[in-house]
Chains A and B, each alone.
Chain A
Amino acid sequence: MPDLLKLLADLVVYRWFGLRAGAHLADALDFFIYDVIKILLLLTAIIFVVSIIRSFFPPERTRRFLGRSRGWVGNILAALLGIVTPFCSCSAVPLFIGFVESGIPLGVTLSFLISSPTVNEVALVMLLGLFGWKVAGLYIASGMAIAIAAGLVLGRLQLERYVEEYVYQMKVGSTDYIQPTFRQRANDAWVYTKELLSKVGPWVLVGVGAGALIHGYVPVNWLAKVAGRGNPLAVPIAVLIGVPLYSNAAGTIPIVQALTAKGVPIGTALALMMAVTALSLPEAIILRRVMKPRLLAIYFGVVALAIVIVGYLFNAVIH
């Protein structure tokens, strides 16, 4: 199949546009078209499949599921469920309340809360398409590791008293769940796939375009010196820069592309990306409604620390 795509890209660039193979612009364009088609196809397939899987885990069921599991198994399950359950950050608060109310331990709830925005299927596809399966695999593994480890640590710290009191007094209603048919699941998944594609499509173009441009035109520069392997503090600095910023995962990929192309190691670039997606000022403001300042600060601290560790690990493993 990739060869078919290559043929298609070649056809468009060299036949239809009549550009000469070997010329810098033509080859960059060929590369661009190939990558865009590849990533859009991958995105469509993976989002569709993930949406189908997700339809088997509505929040009500996730809640019951996690309520039954004990100890670290709960953290692992929560991190796994977080991957297939993306929610907009404004959903974080009702979910948090729903989890805590049904007796799910705080550490498990936080594992879910971390893994959901951190491990994201759009980012996964972009990394797979642009950097290959090794980086994509490490991205999932490290995102899960952060969610599980941070959740376990936070669970041990007995932070329950730093949750706003009203959360424990809330009575969460129950909704009647109607088992959808497979047709409905597929239909919902397709509607969601289209919605997401129309949202992230432009980012794919920007991301791949930035990559194609940088490949040819950017010389070795100061960034590689400042944030390259020579600077051991590059990872924590990247995380500190990333925390207050907010963007969805797809929006940060162009930055990762640009940074790595300029000689910044992949671990440093990914640490920045994870800090941007997992921790942000808007998220802090939203979570402040259920967490007292102290818990919020500890939560951000532990997650940031976990991201720093994973950043170093990435840098050590991938060269």
Chain B
Amino acid sequence: MEISVLGMGCARCNDLEKRVRDALAELGIAADVKHVTDLKEIAAMGVLMTPGLAVDGRVVSQGKLPSKDELKKLLGTCKR
């Protein structure tokens, strides 16, 4: 599973990355988390509002900072 946090370095984007890592650790899932800061790459994925979150290239959330529980649910279902 490859997870991308999409954001050009704003505070909420960094919060999201941290929360994603926490959620993964609690779920016991090993996954690649990368933080995409390149503007063109973000727009190409269709994310107009940061922070965005993509799992295996598919955007699952944008423009919001989901709670850790939501992230766990989201990442848990993506895994299956």
Asked if A pairs with B, the answer is: yes
Chain B residues closer than 8 Å to A195, beta-carbon distance: 65
B64 touches A94 (CB 8 A): no
B48 touches A60 (CB 8 A): yes
Chain A residues closer than 8 Å to B62, beta-carbon distance: 58-59, 175
B63 touches A91 (CB 8 A): yes
Q: Which of A144-152, A165-173, A212-220, A225-233 makes up part of the contact surface? A: A165-173
Chain A residues closer than 8 Å to B39, beta-carbon distance: 93-94, 97, 289
Chain A residues closer than 8 Å to B9, beta-carbon distance: 90
A90 touches B48 (CB 8 A): no
CA distance A59 to B48 in the complex (A): 6
Q: Is A133 an interface residue (CB 8 A)?
A: no
Of A87, A172, A176, A191, the residue contacting B49 (CB under 8 A) is A87
Tally of contact residues, A, Cβ under 8 A = 28
The main secondary structure of chain B at its interface with chain A is: loop
B43 touches A175 (CB 8 A): no
Q: Is A158 an interface residue (CB 8 A)?
A: no
Q: Is A88 an interface residue (CB 8 A)?
A: yes
Chain A residues closer than 8 Å to B42, beta-carbon distance: 94
CA distance A91 to B40 in the complex (A): 13
- From 57 to 112 in chain A, residues with beta carbon under 8 angstroms from any chain B beta carbon are 58-60, 63, 87-91, 93-95, 97-98, 101
Chain A residues closer than 8 Å to B65, beta-carbon distance: 191-192, 195
Q: Is B50 an interface residue (CB 8 A)?
A: yes
CA distance A94 to B13 in the complex (A): 14
Of B7, B10, B44, B67, the residue contacting A170 (CB under 8 A) is B44
B46 touches A191 (CB 8 A): no
B44 touches A59 (CB 8 A): no
CA distance A190 to B40 in the complex (A): 32
Interface size class of B (residues with CB under 8 A): 20 to 34
CA distance A151 to B49 in the complex (A): 21
CA distance A176 to B7 in the complex (A): 19
Q: Is A188 an interface residue (CB 8 A)?
A: yes
With contacts A88-B12, A90-B7, A191-B67 known, is A171 near B48, CB below 8 A?
Answer: no
Chain A residues closer than 8 Å to B66, beta-carbon distance: 188, 191
CA distance A97 to B43 in the complex (A): 7
Q: Is B20 an interface residue (CB 8 A)?
A: no
Chain B residues closer than 8 Å to A166, beta-carbon distance: 40
With contacts A170-B43, A175-B62, A191-B70 known, is A93 near B49, CB below 8 A?
Answer: no
With contacts A91-B63, A93-B39, A191-B67 known, is A172 near B50, CB below 8 A?
Answer: no
Q: Is B11 an interface residue (CB 8 A)?
A: yes
Q: Which of the listed residues A94, A95, A166, A175 has the most CB atoms from chain B within 10 Å of its own CB? A: A94
Residues of A within 8 A of B (CB): 58-60, 63, 87-91, 93-95, 97-98, 101, 166, 170-176, 188, 191-192, 195, 289
Beyond known contacts A58-B63, A91-B10, A91-B49: 15 more, CB 8 A cutoff: A88-B11, A89-B10, A90-B7, A90-B8, A90-B9, A90-B13, A94-B42, A94-B48, A101-B43, A170-B44, A172-B46, A175-B47, A188-B66, A192-B65, A289-B39
In the assembled complex, 28 residue pairs joining A and B whose CB atoms fall closer than 8 Å, in A order, are A58-B63, A59-B49, A60-B46, A87-B63, A88-B12, A88-B50, A89-B10, A90-B8, A90-B10, A90-B50, A91-B10, A91-B49, A91-B50, A91-B63, A94-B8, A95-B49, A97-B39, A97-B43, A166-B40, A171-B44, A173-B45, A175-B46, A175-B59, A188-B66, A191-B65, A191-B67, A192-B64, A289-B39
